[in-house]
Structure 1
């Protein structure tokens, strides 16, 4: 069952971005997600399965969501 994500959610992923950050904001949801790195503000596209596989923590409105 897919994890429920919303635009504006913050995700902490296992793999770091090349800048060293691993916290991202979700900007678009669908088969592909558009994420913005909180460290360097670069945007990247990842498939939904890749986001779900790399997910460590998921926050919505500063509250952690248990998946």
Structure 2
């Protein structure tokens, strides 16, 4: 999957705050995402994020 800065993604599991929507902040080998619910920022390798993102319909 290709990610662009500013894209909104939905994960399969919810974050601790209850939201499953994230915003892409930075791309590269590691991708930085920000929770739309609580504004927590997380760095995650691209291959792990690909597994956790819900497929678009």
Query: TM-score by structure 1 length?
Result: 0.75
What root-mean-square deviation, in Å, do the aligned CA atoms of Structure 1 and Structure 2 show? Answer: 1.4
Q: List structure 1 runs of 4+ shifted beyond 6 angstroms.
A: none
Query: TM-score by structure 2 length?
Result: 0.87
Report the alpha carbon displacement of residue 57 of structure 1 after superposing the two structures with TM: 4.4
Rg comparison, structure with higher value: 1
Whichever structure has more strand as a proportion of its residues is 1
> Which ranges in structure 2 are unaligned for 5 or more consecutive residues?
none
Aligned residues: 57
Partner of 1:18: 16
Partner of 1:34: 32
